[in-house]
Each structure stands twice: as structure tokens, then as C-alpha cells.
């Protein structure tokens, strides 16, 4: 009789534990943890901790092996969201997974929003500097004739004649702007449309008596 009562008590306890551990999808991480600890045995706690440590080590190893930026960004999406921030686990993630502070700041602003680098075209990045270079007096000279103009997209500009070949000017520009990598082809494309190489007739028109240029 005592043996049967002992079995009943054992199964009743197991049922209580199973019911207590049944978590709702709306339960918070703290609630889930509280329910687990209130009825968990030492064996269950040990198994949960082993699973946690194994999972962390596996993710950390995969993250360390990853060299492609897109894959690293995918890891960041997993570990730098609202829940981690809410429960103040940012430093734990940085330490256990190996996600650096720099990447955290770069990849995440708030919530699950994942920050991507905003792409800027070459024109947006260096177009203004190229234009300013071409209209310098040591690079080109403005024509004096009122009719010596060029118009594009309703933008009318006085012509300027180049003082040197574009090839030489490209090298000069790169020498003066060491922070910029710009191909010759792109340099030509960014040249202002009103800065041109003078034709033979135009060269004759800007000559003064005695063979001197303006």
C-alpha cells in the first residue's frame, strides 16, 4: 500500500512539474526562467546549462570562422535586437559570441532595425571636388567671347579651355587628392561639360598679335 502511495506521489509531482513548465508563447524570458527554476531538478538544470553552453560555443565557433561581411551581418541580426537590449545582455553577447562593440554600433540603431551602409555614387562622393579642380585657373581658362557658351539641360555656362591634356590633369588630381581612387574614365565623365579642349579655330581666335595667348 505504501509502495502504491509513493508511486502516486511521484507521478503527481511529475504532473505538477510538467504543468508548471508548460509555458505560453507570450511568456517573457524571465517568466520562462522563473517557471523552470521553481520545479526543475538538478539534472534538468544541468542539462539546460549544458545545452546553453554548447549552443553558445557552436555559434561562437561559426561566427569566428565566418569571413564574408554578409554572413557576419546575418549573425548580428540574430544577437543585437530588442530582447537582448531589454534584458541588458549586450555585454554578455559581446563576450560570449565575440560580436565587437564597433560592429554592434554599426549594425544596430534600435529594435530589430538592421543598419546597412548607405551607398553613395562616385558623383555624389567626389563630383564636386572634380568640378572645382577643373575650373581652377591653373587647370582651365575662361573664354572672353559672350557667344562662347555651352548649354546642357537648360544649364548655360561660359566655355573654359583646358590648359593641359586630361591625362596629365588626371595624374595631377590624384597627386593632390591622395584620399581618392578615381579611374581615368570616371574622371573624364565627371569633367564639367563646359570645360573643353579648344579647337584649332578657337585657338587662333584667342591668340593676340605677336603670337601671345590671352
Would you tell me how many other CB atoms lie within 10 Å of the CB of residue 98?
A: 14
- Per the listing, cell 535586437 goes with 81
Give the model's pLDDT for residue 213.
Answer: 46
The DSSP code sequence of 136-194 is STTTEEE---TT-EEEETTEEEE-EEESS-HHHHHHHHHHH-TT----HHHHHHHS-TT
User: Which stretches within 40-160 are classed as H helix?
Assistant: 42-65, 69-79, 82-86, 90-96, 101-107, 122-134
Count Cβ atoms within 10 A of the Cβ of residue 64 and give its class: 0-12 exposed, 13-18 middle, 19 or more buried. exposed
Quick check: helix, strand or coil at residue 213? strand
Domain boundaries, the chain: 58-116, 122-199
* Cell reading at 134: 577643373
Question: Which pLDDT score is estimated for 119?
Answer: 58
Q: How far is CA 152 from the centre of its chain?
A: 35
Q: How far is CA 167 from CA 95, 121, 211, in A?
A: 52, 23, 26
Angle between helices 2-21 and 29-39 (to 10 degrees): 170
| Separation of alpha carbons 42 and 99, rounded Å | 32
Whole-structure pTM value:
0.42
Task: Check: CB of residue 39 under 8 Å from CB of residue 20.
Answer: yes
Instruction: Report mean pLDDT in 10-residue bins for the chain, 214 residues.
Output: 69 63 65 78 84 80 76 69 74 74 57 50 83 94 85 91 94 92 92 88 54 45
Which residue is listed with cell 587647370?
139
Amino acid at each position: 500500500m505504501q509502495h502504491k502511495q509513493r508511486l502516486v506521489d511521484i507521478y503527481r509531482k511529475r504532473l505538477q512539474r510538467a504543468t508548471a513548465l508548460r509555458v505560453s508563447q507570450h511568456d517573457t524570458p524571465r517568466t520562462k526562467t522563473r517557471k523552470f527554476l521553481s520545479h526543475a531538478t538538478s539534472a534538468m538544470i544541468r542539462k539546460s546549462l549544458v545545452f546553453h553552453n554548447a549552443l553558445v560555443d557552436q555559434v561562437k565557433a561559426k561566427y569566428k570562422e565566418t569571413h564574408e561581411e554578409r554572413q557576419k551581418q546575418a549573425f548580428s541580426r540574430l544577437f543585437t535586437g530588442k530582447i537582448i537590449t531589454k534584458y541588458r545582455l549586450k555585454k554578455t553577447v559581446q563576450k560570449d559570441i565575440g560580436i565587437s562593440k564597433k560592429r554592434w554600433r554599426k549594425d544596430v540603431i534600435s529594435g530589430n532595425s538592421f543598419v546597412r551602409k548607405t551607398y553613395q555614387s562616385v558623383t555624389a562622393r567626389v563630383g564636386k571636388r572634380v568640378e572645382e579642380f577643373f575650373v581652377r585657373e591653373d587647370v582651365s581658362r575662361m573664354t572672353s567671347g559672350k557667344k562662347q557658351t555651352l548649354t546642357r539641360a537648360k544649364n548655360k555656362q561660359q566655355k573654359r579651355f583646358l590648359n593641359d591634356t586630361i591625362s596629365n590633369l588626371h595624374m595631377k588630381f590624384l597627386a593632390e587628392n591622395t584620399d581618392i581612387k578615381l579611374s581615368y574614365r570616371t574622371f573624364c565623365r565627371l569633367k564639367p561639360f563646359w570645360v573643353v579642349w579648344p579647337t584649332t579655330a578657337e585657338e587662333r581666335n584667342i591668340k593676340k598679335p605677336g603670337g601671345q595667348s590671352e
